[in-house]
Structure 1
Amino acid sequence: MRKHILIVLLLIVLVIGGIVFWLTRPDVARVDLAAVTGPRPTISAPRKQLFPTIAVADAIGWPQGAKPIPAAGLAVDAFATGLDHPRWLYRLPNGDVLVAESNSPPREGGGITGWVMGLLMGKAGAGVPSANRITLLRDANGDGVAEQKSAFMTGLNSPFGMALQGDWLYIGNTDALVRVPYKTGDTKITAKPELVVKLQGGGNHWARNVIADPEGKTLYVTVGSASNIAENGIEREKYRANILEVYPAAKTFRVFAAGLRNPNGMAIEPHTKRLWTVVNERDMLGSDLAPDYLTQIEMGDHFGWPWYYWGGYPDQRVEPQNPALQEYSKRPDYALGPHVAALGLTFAGDAKLGGRFANGAFIGEHGSWNRKPVSGYKVVYVPFGDNGYPAKGAKPIDVLTGFLNKDGDAQGRPVGVITDTSGALLVADDVGNVIWRVRGK
């Protein structure tokens, strides 16, 4: 009898183990990554997951003397080292470069979701307290290396975006847009930040970017969603998954565009003066969905989140459904591939990296945590035409790679991208704690 009981128990354990394995096994991509890029990407059938695929690269940093690999005709060197999680960059009028050294604020809640996010942040090198600092870098002699590195502002709350408008420098804290007076050449700000507008904080997406509109009257601020697909209730997503237009004189704002799960980098296209952004799309539909994207933004746009992705494909997991929105969900302009975590964005503008990189968008892809094989972990360039849109048939061109070593570990992860006064490209690497400088040979 005892033998029979043991056999039954063993069978039960094997069945339960098989079920757990089936539910938690990683989803492997079935579509070539290149096919899920461009203006008309392959949108395959969703493969809903009860548990996410976890395939984030372990963060190890750069070995002594190592650096990323630039595209042919380009060279790369360190502009500044020894930083603490550098995420975002901003160039001041005199050429000084501000770096937001920042990380996620302490996350709320626990349970399985909290445990998974803690695990992922630790593996990705993000599970450390935020420095809450903006650092000033100055290359006074123009040799491509910042010889001055000093604390510009401290005591912030997970700062990210920075923008100068008039005599004010605006900073996107995770829970507020604030400002301080600034004069060209200032190397340290001691003034107490003034509140412009409060922003929704907490949740999954903490980074708040800010840029000034070309006419100098308003500012655009990104606020990512608190969740993957509003699984905690759409009421928790008020004024989130949005780009807000802020009126600093009145200290008010309105929703400029909505349905953007996690917009991050923003930039003004030089020919048309229109606003563009890069967006991180939803998770747990498999390794082939949904593509992150680059798109132009106009007042009143809605890109479908959480109900729809890529211009009207329904996400059946979202309840209640919203069928009336489907025909009004705007299709993005350009897919960057699934789960690449597109964060940084700047247009070539005054870049001097050769004719191949003279008109288009540079994008920092932080890299996937939930795709097999991994995607992103590089800086890419999307060629544009003179009409202010991606060139017909253009695919992303690798500008800076090698952030993953041969074992698949992350030596670095690119985030913010800007140009310096010489026309070189600066790239914030928040795992390597370096600002890389990419120049023409």
Structure 2
Amino acid sequence: MIRITSLAALGLLLAASASAQQADQPLLTGEKAFGDWKADRPGVRRLIKPDDLPAPRTGRLASNAPGLADRPQGAKPTLPPGFSAELVASGIENPRVVRVAPNGDLFVADSQANRIRVYRLAAGSAKPAEKSIFADGLSQPYGIAFYPPGDKPQWVYVANTDSVVRFAYRDGDLKASGEPETIVAGIPAGYHWTRDIAFSPDGRTLYLSVGSGSNTAEDIGPRPKGGLEEWMKSKPLGAAWGSEAGRADVLAFDPDGRNGRTVATGLRNCSGMTVQPATGALWCVVNERDELGENLPFDYATVVKDGAFYGWPWYYIGSNEDPRHEGARPDLAGKVTVPDVLMQAHSAPLNIAFYEGSNFPAEYKGDAFVALHGSWNRNVRSGYKVVRLKFKDGKPTGEYEDFATGFVISDDEVWGRPVGVAVAKDGALIFTEDGNGTIWRISYGG
């Protein structure tokens, strides 16, 4: 009989057990990777490739909005062996993005309540030692970023649906000391309303994501005045016009909001952004379009490459033409950047965070976690979980793995819809879900 003589040895044993159980799960590929919620459980792995795309089927829209149920008594996320989940807070109107301040405070966008909340957790615990409303009277706030990057930020930036503002900040502030200063104004609002923000590692660039104003540019209007060729001479590759001008893009500004430019286009709804610590690359997760079929197109996570076009609305996952725009932009064929990690269609990824903490087993370091809000337009539900994207030497393998599941009660009801995800200062994973308005802390061992 083996004797465990220390917590460290016990941790190694738990890690080995968790790895063994997850390794036993088959890697789902091709059509087997499409699946539904009944196949979801921690350790289930999927690898979806561009060649797995089924044929499009237009005009067939599944309407299967989740019936939100109260969280069952004692219900918690289902996690891999060795991990545990503790409730941080509940009863929040609409918890969305969560970001961690350098001192460890959790800043949470309560979007429909138009406020930013702050939670200061007791050491090594999910219990808030203090909580506060940092700012109120905002306009569907979503993205949150601290500036300058590092240990002593002087500002908290907040992305409203129609603007980016900032508040003066000193380490440990639980409430804004002054009024917001508008940094970027005139952001087009409506339809996809979530705006995320992130700073480059050197602090020189503020990135802003702006989702599309429609499913697939149904109301984009006639071609630009002066013709398409003239438009192409002065605009970024794949830039849209009319009602979609300045949308489905990732933009960049100086920290003071000046010198705005377009970084990348054709990203239908880049609702979550982060910078990969190992490389400094900007990543985003994207909700793709609807009404092309149960398993089409795939949602995705990708590096945002400067000058790249990701397809929306004319193409998807490379040079696959959307039949609703057949023949509209032959000039863009062959110029579409293929995303890095493909996910089940209609999973609705909303946020991404890279793990560089020390609480989880070492194999997690460098991987990323993505919150999948869940489908409304798929006959059999997909999403409703937190997944882990696998990386090797800083590069994505394309594979992703179920990490936190158990939010779906039946074909008709769900209790949780994950939205925000962040790594706490102590290495625990924090995530929000807006089905029951809760915040959770996931830790390993104990």
Q: TM-score interval w.r.t. the shorter chain?
A: 0.7 to 0.9
Structure 1 pair 428/138, CA: closer, same or farther in 2 (3 Å)? same
Aligned residue type for 1:43: L
Q: What does 1:5-84 correspond to in 2, within 5 Å?
A: 31-34=31-34, 37-40=47-50, 42-49=52-59, 52-84=61-93
Measure how far apart 1:149 and its partner are: 1.9
CA distance in 2, matches of 1:91, 1:160: 14
Q: What does 1:299-318 correspond to in 2, within 5 Å?
A: 299-318=306-325
CA distance in 1, matches of 2:210, 2:339: 18
CA distance in 1, matches of 2:278, 2:215: 34
TM-score by length of 1: 0.83
CA distance in 2, matches of 1:159, 1:143: 27
Measure how far apart 1:190 and its partner are: 4.2
CA distance in 2, matches of 1:143, 1:304: 44
Q: What does 1:27-426 correspond to in 2, within 5 Å?
A: 31-34=31-34, 37-40=47-50, 42-49=52-59, 52-102=61-111, 130-166=112-148, 167-233=154-220, 234-249=241-256, 251-318=258-325, 321-350=328-357, 352-386=359-393, 388-391=394-397, 395-426=399-430
* Secondary structure of residue in 2 paired with 1:217: coil
CA distance in 1, matches of 2:260, 2:370: 28
Q: Deviations over 1:312-362 (max 9, x none)?
A: 100020277101111111111110110000111001122522134222110
CA distance in 1, matches of 2:280, 2:330: 34
Verify the 8 A CA contact 2:211 2:267 in the aligned structure 1.
Answer: yes
Measure how far apart 1:41 and its partner are: 5.2
Verify the 8 A CA contact 1:39 1:333 in the aligned structure 2.
Answer: no
Q: Deviations over 1:6-55 (max 9, x none)?
A: xxxxxxxxxxxxxxxxxxxxxxxx94334884344511100112x52111
Q: Deviations over 1:359-389 (max 9, x none)?
A: 2110000000001211100000011011x22
TM-score by length of 2: 0.82
Verify the 8 A CA contact 2:86 2:441 in the aligned structure 1.
Answer: yes
Measure how far apart 1:177 and its partner are: 0.8
Greater mean alpha carbon deviation, residues 228-237 or residues 199-208:
199-208
* Secondary structure of residue in 2 paired with 1:390: strand
CA distance in 1, matches of 2:69, 2:108: 22
Greater mean alpha carbon deviation, residues 195-204 or residues 167-176:
195-204
Structure 1 segments unaligned to the other structure (5+ residues): 1-29, 103-129
Aligned residue type for 1:289: L
CA distance in 2, matches of 1:433, 1:175: 24
Q: Deviations over 1:192-235 (max 9, x none)?
A: 21111124333320000001111111111110000011001141
Structure 1 pair 100/76, CA: closer, same or farther in 2 (3 Å)? same
Measure how far apart 1:407 and its partner are: 4.8
CA distance in 2, matches of 1:141, 1:332: 39
Structure 1 pair 40/352, CA: closer, same or farther in 2 (3 Å)? farther
Q: Deviations over 1:54-94 (max 9, x none)?
A: 11221113123212111222111112223221011011111
Measure how far apart 1:270 and its partner are: 2.1
CA distance in 1, matches of 2:70, 2:243: 36
Aligned residue type for 2:132: S
Verify the 8 A CA contact 1:426 1:436 in the aligned structure 2.
Answer: yes
Alignment length, in residue pairs? 381
Look up the match of 1:27.
none
CA distance in 1, matches of 2:355, 2:207: 20
Aligned residue type for 1:147: A
* Secondary structure of residue in 2 paired with 1:426: strand
Identity percentage of aligned residues = 39
CA distance in 1, matches of 2:76, 2:314: 41
Q: Deviations over 1:276-324 (max 9, x none)?
A: 1111111000101000001111210110110000011000202771011
* Secondary structure of residue in 1 paired with 2:243: helix
Structure 1 pair 415/41, CA: closer, same or farther in 2 (3 Å)? farther
CA distance in 2, matches of 1:46, 1:293: 18
Measure how far apart 1:268 and its partner are: 1.4
Q: Deviations over 1:235-281 (max 9, x none)?
A: 11111000111112353411111010000111112221111111111
CA distance in 1, matches of 2:307, 2:428: 35
Aligned residue type for 2:406: G
Measure how far apart 1:146 and its partner are: 1.5
Structure 1 pair 378/250, CA: closer, same or farther in 2 (3 Å)? closer
Verify the 8 A CA contact 2:200 2:280 in the aligned structure 1.
Answer: no
Structure 1 pair 290/413, CA: closer, same or farther in 2 (3 Å)? same
Look up the match of 2:230.
none
* Secondary structure of residue in 2 paired with 1:328: coil
* Secondary structure of residue in 2 paired with 1:276: strand
CA distance in 2, matches of 1:61, 1:34: 28
Structure 1 pair 147/332, CA: closer, same or farther in 2 (3 Å)? same
Greater mean alpha carbon deviation, residues 92-101 or residues 77-86:
77-86
Structure 1 pair 199/357, CA: closer, same or farther in 2 (3 Å)? farther
- Say what the alpha-carbon RMSD is for the aligned residues: 1.8
Aligned residue type for 1:56: A
Verify the 8 A CA contact 2:380 2:411 in the aligned structure 1.
Answer: no
